[in-house]
Amino acid sequence: MNLNEWSEQLRAAGFKVVLGSRQTLWVSNERISMVRVPEVVLHLPSKEEMRTVFRKSRAAILSFAVEPDEGRGANCWLYQCTDPEYSLNKLERGARSHIRRALGEFEIRFMEQSEVLRLGKQAYYDTLVRTGLSPEHREAFELEYGRPRRDTAYIGAMKGDRLAAFLRATAVDDWVLLAGCSANEFLPLRPNNGLIYYVVHHYLVVKKFRVVDYGLSSVQAASNAEGLHRFKLKMGFEAVPVHRAFVIHPLLRPFANRLSWRLINGILKRSPRHPLLKKAEGALRMVLHP
Q: Are 218 and 131 in contact (CB under 8 A)?
A: yes
H or E element, residue 90: none
Q: What is the pLDDT of residues 131-180, one digit of tens each?
A: 776 555 556 788 888 888 888 999 999 999 999 999 999 999 999 999 99
Domain that holds residue 188: 79-240
- Count of Cβ atoms closer than 10 Å to residue 123 Cβ: 26
| Domain of residue 179, CATH code | 3.40.630.30
In a domain? residue 234: yes
The number of distinct structural domains making up the chain is: 1
**Res 255 pLDDT > 60:** no
How far is Cα 195 from Cα 203, in angstroms, rounded to an integer?
A: 12
In a domain? residue 62: no
pTM for the model: 0.82
Q: What is the pLDDT of residues 207-221, one digit of tens each?
A: 999 999 999 987 544
In a domain? residue 45: no
In a domain? residue 261: no
In a domain? residue 3: no
Would you say the C-alpha torsion 46, 51, 56, 59 has a positive or negative sign? positive
**Sheet of strand 33-37, all strands in order from the earlier edge strand to the far edge:** 17-19, 25-29, 33-37, 61-66, 238-248, 76-81, 211-216, 175-182, 162-172, 153-159, 107-111
pLDDT band at 252 (very low <50, low <70, confident <90, very high): low
Q: What is the pLDDT of residues 53-70, one digit of tens each?
A: 999 999 988 999 999 988
Per-residue model confidence (pLDDT) at position 27: 95
DSSP letters, 50-65, are HHHHHHHH--SEEEEE
In a domain? residue 212: yes
